Amino acid sequence: MTQWLDPVEQRAWQAIVALMTRIPGALDTRLQRESGLTHFEFRVLSLLSEEAGHRLQLSDLAHKANASLSRLSHVVSKLERLGWARRDTTAGRRGVYAVLTDEGFEKVIEAAPGYVDAVRRLVLDGLTEKQTAHMAVLGENLSDRLNRILVEDGD
């Protein structure tokens, strides 16, 4: 028999749902207005910018971006059309790589200040330093647990 959420669990869950549904749209709106990027496109470009050689195997990039390979491939195709990324294969290695172009790196540099300002304004400025540190621990714990469960379930 299902055990329903108690009032505190319900309150916590409703808060998470509100954040999951509102923050991505708010970030998309701001990034698209200021830089012509969605939050996910910025995330992909940003992850590539942090890698040595600005390149990462598509499957690894999908994992880091918390996205399906299909979704990532679609976004990389769009980034290719815009000249911000390209696909590459390396002889003797399996898999396709996403590579950030010089123009893509410039786009990340251009968009980053607005992104950081939006993250601060929408989330971090509403928290104390201690709350931010606590949220980091909670988020990491929840993310690690989610990843373990999804692997166990084959998702």
Instruction: Give the model's confidence band at 90: pLDDT under 50 very low, under 70 low, under 90 confident, else very high.
Output: confident
Residues 57, 59, 60, 65, CA torsion sign: positive
**Mean pLDDT of all residues belonging to the chain:** 93
Instruction: Give the model's confidence band at 128: pLDDT under 50 very low, under 70 low, under 90 confident, else very high.
Output: very high
pTM: 0.86
User: Rounded mean pLDDT of 121-142?
Assistant: 96
Instruction: Give the model's confidence band at 92: pLDDT under 50 very low, under 70 low, under 90 confident, else very high.
Output: low
Q: Which two tokens stand for residue 12?
A: 């916590």
Contact 58, 64 (CB under 8 A): no
Provide the percentage of residues in the chain whose pLDDT is more than 70.
97
